[in-house]
Amino acid sequence: MHSLIRLVTIVAAVGLVAACAQPADPAPAASTPVPMSTAGWRWESFGGVEVGVPGDWGWDNQALRLGAWCIKPGNHPPAVSRPGAPTPAIACGVDQKGPPAETLIENTGWTVGFNRTEKADGTDQEGDRTTVRLDGAEVIIQAPKEWRDRIAATVRRVDVDHAGCPTTHRISSGPDLRPSPPADIAAMRGVTSIAVCKYPVPEVGSARSPAPRLLSSLRLDGAAAVAEIRQIAAAPVGGGPDNPADCVPEVAHGDEIILLLVQSATGKAEVTMRYAGCIQNGFDDGTTVHKLTPGGVGPLIAGPNRVYGGFSGHQEKTDMLLPHD
C-alpha cells in the first residue's frame, strides 16, 4: 500500500487528464469533473463509463475477487476486477452478521469492479463499498472511505473512451459480421496506433436491445502498434484454432470479440480478433483471416483486456489466452 499513499499529492484537476489520456479521436465526453489529488492515475472503461484508478493497481477476475471471494480470502493487492468467467457455485459469508461479507475489504482487498444494471443512476453505500450507477453501468468501489470518495468522483459517461474505443460498435451485433470496408493488413504502412476494444457478442436469437457495450480497452502506440500488425500479418492464413464439434450453433462464435481500430499512413482500418467460440477464430481484416498466435494475441489481452475464461476451450487456444500468474 506504500505506493498508493505516495499518490496523495495535491494537483490541479488536469492531473488525471494528463496522466490518463492518450491520443484518441474523438475525445471522451465527460459528464462529471475530474477531482484533485489524482496524479499518476489511469482510466478504466466499461459499458459507456470510465473511472480513474491509481496507476499501480493491477487487474483481477471479478468472479473470484468479489463473487467467490472465500476461495482466496484476504487483503489482496489493489486491482480492477472485471466480469468474464462464471462465478463458482459457492456461498461465501452467508452466516456473517452486519454488512455482507463481500463488501468488506478485509475479505476482498481494495478493488474496483463493473457490471451492467437496469437501476436508475445513483450512489449506494454498504460496508466498505460504494456503488455508482450511471447510464446503465455500475461501478463497484471497495476501499477505505477516502479512496472510495476520490475514485467515485472520477466516474463519467463517455461515447468514445480514453483508448479511442466507441461505447458501441456494429461488429458486436452479429456473429458473422466482418470488418467493412475491408483492408489488407499486409499492405498497411506507417502504423501509428491501435485502439484495442473488447465487446460482448449476443447469443444468436437473443434480444439485442440495448446494443452491446464495450467491456474493456487498451491502446498500442508507436513501435508496439507496428509490431502488433507485423505479428498478425505473419500469422498463417486460414484462421483457427477451431473446434466446431464442441459448440451448438447458437453460441458457436463465442460471447466476446476484440476489435482493432488501426491508424496508419494508408488510412483507418478495422481488424477483428475472434477467440471465444468454436468457429471462425482468428484475425480478420475483411479480406483475409489469419490464425491466432501467441505473438499476435498476447499484446491484445494484456491488462484491462485480460481473458479469464468462458470461451470454448481448445488447448492451444487456452494456453495463449488465459493468464498464468
Domain regions of the chain by residue span: 2-157, 170-321
Q: CB neighbours (10 Å) of residue 187?
A: 12
The pLDDT value recorded for residue 208 is: 57
Distances (CA, A) of 216 to 49, 80, 91, 156, 181: 10, 11, 28, 15, 24
Grouped pLDDT means (10 residues each) for the chain, 325 residues: 36 38 39 59 97 96 89 86 76 77 92 96 97 97 96 97 97 88 95 97 68 95 98 96 88 92 96 93 97 96 88 77 74
Work out the angle at residue 305's Cα, subtended by the Cα atoms of residues 256 and 205, and round it to the nearest 5 degrees. 10
What per-residue confidence (pLDDT) applies to 260?
A: 98
pLDDT of residue 72: 81
Question: Three cell numbers at 171?
Answer: 461488429
Inter-residue contact 136 to 119 (CB < 8 Å) = no
pLDDT at residue 87, as a whole number? 66
User: Cα dihedral sign for 37, 42, 46, 48?
Assistant: positive
Residue 218 φ/ψ region, left for φ over 0, alpha for ψ in the -120 to 50 degree band, beta for the rest: beta
Model pTM?
0.87
pLDDT of residue 229: 98
Amino acid at 139: V
Coil, helix or strand for 185?
A: helix
pLDDT at residue number 1: 40
